[in-house]
Chains A and B, each alone.
Chain A
């Protein structure tokens, strides 16, 4: 147990040094933060930026930035993104002051209106320029809000994607689809806010919590960048005898998950299991096995386990993924990773958790390759920050034994090999009868390759 403590001591350092700031932009952005604040969020500093003073004063966050003090005189931006952008530009100094010194910045906004659509890309850009890792969490408007707002939102999303390292995009439509139509509009929006605030917390926890099996920002980036930014997110916690099962069911019951059905089309899935030191291997095995039923053979699972003494007898499961990923890429990435499995993070020593690093040994290399593909610089940055992780590679000796013991572990690897073969086969015939004809290339895409393959639609 002495070793266990020292282990935590070492883990705390890098996470403490990583400062996280969440900025809510516009009306929807500050609503999300209010919700996050109410639900309780620690180790993360919140700030609200808005043109509308009334909404700003109503916000419960500590730091508030009024955008466009002279331009809008404390009124809103009237749904005009250009005004929102101009207001943000006017307040450039204040924004820069608010983001200076933070390593990771979340930008939360509801796109479609003026301030959110206009200012959020600008703030993301400032944050990126300041050298921080930028993760944007945005909502897309309901279709019934009109074509104009949808178009503004789409344009803004495009801009944000250029600046942010990763974007998680919540479609209000999709969230509403799964709630009852007779639910009030206020409730529908609130439901969206809850989901987003949960995801902020989950992502923040992923980044900051010392984990036995740590997942980093790069893992999240890899998962989210893979798809077309439609995020899948689920969070659930439970206590009691059957807490592992209950937490997973809760997570899958999240509106964005559609009872796990949406997971079938995801390519990469991050799952983090949090609990106090009393989490058992059996519980983790249960969660992973059940989750495996919901995902397709080609899906890559990245598992993280965090030990948080404040959880008490509760156990929580967070699932993050995105729709529309490209199976080919992830499998190739996995293949690359097999050649350089060098980054191992935790070195747990408590008896109860000894087997888990092996699960990671099998699972992690692919995640590692993901990083190499998605953001090599990022990987370098994180590696240099966590030199202590490399030493756990020694555990490899006990690998065999665990493969037999941990069911979920032995399941995962053969699946990946299957997927690889299938995809390669696809590659060879993908142009079919147009193999020998002059290729039709428009906007950089070879149109002779079936559209459903290029659009990553899973047709089986």
Chain B
């Protein structure tokens, strides 16, 4: 990329590989230049299981994006998902040495390092250290401690980590296509940037991105990431359930899910059936609509309940003013927002990425939330750069850390 105000986000998903190219304009808004897409193969549950095949898919998507946007991509923000990704909250503490009372950038850096100093398993590496709150001398509600006077600086961080080798796989896939990885971002965090505005983050929101192979979620409370997680269950599981339960091939089950699937129980007439047609259009078996919906309902409810259990462990749900946002490809199932609202006991909606300028109308679609979120994330980092100069070097440090084996 010739100009440093053009960003590309790459999501290697279980169903599709998606590349979004966007340009930051002078008024600090983002314009989408083009979106490249390729169906993915060699990827299961959000992780690469067949490297060469996956690489070809990524290549196709990148070429597609380059053609559509007329930009040569040299660097991407890479979305990461997978069941190995874990997170926790930790507090870092820095005490200023005698004779110095003003908090400077080095202290901010130190408090972050301090929070990260926890013993992780050998094979793991930290992906994100996201600031939640600062405290200066025990005083709450400090938005930016830089330049404040104080003796002790504390800060809460949300720390996301995953297994190093698995993250490396995705990075290597990009590297072999002669692309640089500007940063790796967990999908849930990227998705939140696409579907939540500042106001929602401040009010508190739970974003659930149900993709093909994984469900990524993140909780925002008072503008900060409170919790995040990945469950390796997604739309593929719904298809698989249907395939087993109705004894039909996977491809047929996928089609049935998209065309007829509904998560609402008791929404069909008793005995209402769907006729399955084969490729030639001949009527084949009949399937009861309620059975279909029941299988889907069980799986989706379970996904929500697992998210609820993981989130409720921290008693966060009481603070979510903006409610639940369901997005991702599988959020297009009919009635899913009602089920989410029932399980979580708060308002829920299905949502596509917030509108952006450019050729977006075709991509204001839940399944592009993560990819568009990646460029939004890149944009935020870009806007932040003058303030936190360290972020790029930190990124480089982290990447080199990932590669150091």
A451 to B234, CA, bound (A): 12
Q: Does residue B240 face the partner (Cβ distance < 8 Å to A)?
A: yes
Given A438-B45, A440-B233, A430:B244 Cβ within 8 A: yes
Q: Does residue B374 face the partner (Cβ distance < 8 Å to A)?
A: no
Contact with A along B80-109 (1 / 0, CB 8 A): 000100000000000000000000000000
Q: Does residue B334 face the partner (Cβ distance < 8 Å to A)?
A: no
Distance in Å: Cβ of A258 to nearest Cβ of chain B: 14
- Chain A residues near B49 (CB, 8 Å)? 437
- Chain A residues near B44 (CB, 8 Å)? 434, 437-438
Binds B, one of A158-166, A223-231, A281-289, A441-449: A441-449
CB–CB A448/B237 < 8 A: yes
Q: A434-B240, A440-B231 are in contact. List 18 more A-B contacts (CB 8 A).
A: A426-B244, A431-B240, A432-B240, A432-B244, A433-B250, A434-B236, A434-B237, A437-B44, A443-B309, A447-B306, A448-B237, A450-B237, A450-B245, A452-B241, A452-B245, A453-B244, A455-B298, A460-B291
Q: Does residue B345 face the partner (Cβ distance < 8 Å to A)?
A: yes
CB–CB B83/A440 < 8 A: yes
CB–CB B241/A450 < 8 A: yes
A414 to B311, CA, bound (A): 48
Most chain B CB inside 10 Å of its own CB: which residue of A426, A432, A442: A432
CB–CB B241/A451 < 8 A: yes
Q: Does residue A429 face the partner (Cβ distance < 8 Å to B)?
A: yes
CB–CB A457/B250 < 8 A: no
Q: Does residue B302 face the partner (Cβ distance < 8 Å to A)?
A: yes
- Chain B residues near A432 (CB, 8 Å)? 240, 243-244, 250
CB–CB B45/A452 < 8 A: no
Given A147-B345, A440-B232, A429:B298 Cβ within 8 A: no
- Chain B residues near A457 (CB, 8 Å)? 294-295, 298
Counting from the closest, the 3 A-B pairs by CB-CB distance are A450-B241, A451-B298, A451-B299
Given A459-B294, A459-B295, A440:B45 Cβ within 8 A: yes
Contact with A along B305-338 (1 / 0, CB 8 A): 0100100000000000000000000000000000
CB–CB A452/B240 < 8 A: no
A457 to B298, CA, bound (A): 8
CB–CB B45/A450 < 8 A: no
- Interface residues of A, CB < 8 Å — how many? 23
Interface residues of B, dominant DSSP: helix
Scan residues 215-263 of chain B and give those whose CB is less than 8 A from a CB of chain A.
231-233, 236-237, 240-241, 243-245, 250
What would 26 A/B residue contacts be, using CB atoms closer than 8 Å? A429-B244, A431-B240, A432-B243, A433-B240, A433-B250, A434-B44, A434-B236, A438-B44, A438-B83, A440-B233, A442-B306, A447-B237, A447-B306, A450-B241, A450-B245, A450-B295, A450-B299, A451-B241, A451-B298, A451-B299, A451-B301, A452-B241, A452-B294, A455-B302, A459-B245, A459-B294
- Chain A residues near B45 (CB, 8 Å)? 437-438, 440
- With beta carbons under 8 angstroms apart, the residue of A429, A430, A451 that contacts B302 is A451
- A residues lining the B interface (CB < 8 Å): 147, 426, 429-434, 437-438, 440, 442-443, 447-448, 450-453, 455, 457, 459-460
Distance in Å: Cβ of A232 to nearest Cβ of chain B: 19
- Chain A residues near B240 (CB, 8 Å)? 431-434, 448, 450
Distance in Å: Cβ of B298 to nearest Cβ of chain A: 4
- Which chain A residue lies CB-closest to B300? A451
- Chain B residues near A442 (CB, 8 Å)? 231, 306
A459 to B245, CA, bound (A): 8
Distance in Å: Cβ of B10 to nearest Cβ of chain A: 23
A426 to B244, CA, bound (A): 8
Given A433-B243, A440-B45, A452:B298 Cβ within 8 A: yes
- Chain A residues near B309 (CB, 8 Å)? 443
Contact with A along B263-298 (1 / 0, CB 8 A): 000000000000000000000000000010011001
A451 to B231, CA, bound (A): 14
Scan residues 187-237 of chain B and give those whose CB is less than 8 A from a CB of chain A.
231-233, 236-237
Distance in Å: Cβ of A154 to nearest Cβ of chain B: 13
- Chain A residues near B345 (CB, 8 Å)? 147
Distance in Å: Cβ of A431 to nearest Cβ of chain B: 8
Given A440-B45, A440-B83, A440-B233, A459:B291 Cβ within 8 A: yes
Distance in Å: Cβ of A456 to nearest Cβ of chain B: 10
CB–CB B233/A452 < 8 A: no
- Which chain A residue lies CB-closest to B295? A452
- Which chain A residue lies CB-closest to B301? A451
- Chain B residues near A447 (CB, 8 Å)? 231-233, 237, 302, 306
A459 to B232, CA, bound (A): 25
A426 to B233, CA, bound (A): 21
A25 to B198, CA, bound (A): 51
- Chain B residues near A448 (CB, 8 Å)? 237, 240
- Chain A residues near B302 (CB, 8 Å)? 447, 451, 455
- Which chain A residue lies CB-closest to B231? A442
- Chain B residues near A431 (CB, 8 Å)? 240
- Chain A residues near B245 (CB, 8 Å)? 450, 452-453, 459
- Chain B residues near A459 (CB, 8 Å)? 245, 291, 294-295
- Which chain A residue lies CB-closest to B239? A433
- Chain B residues near A455 (CB, 8 Å)? 298, 302
A426 to B298, CA, bound (A): 17
CB–CB A433/B241 < 8 A: no
- Chain A residues near B294 (CB, 8 Å)? 452, 457, 459
Most chain B CB inside 10 Å of its own CB: which residue of A430, A438, A459: A459
A433 to B14, CA, bound (A): 14
- Chain B residues near A426 (CB, 8 Å)? 244
Given A440-B231, A450-B244, A460-B291, A433:B299 Cβ within 8 A: no
- Which chain A residue lies CB-closest to B82? A438
A430 to B244, CA, bound (A): 7
A438 to B250, CA, bound (A): 19
Most chain B CB inside 10 Å of its own CB: which residue of A443, A452, A455: A452
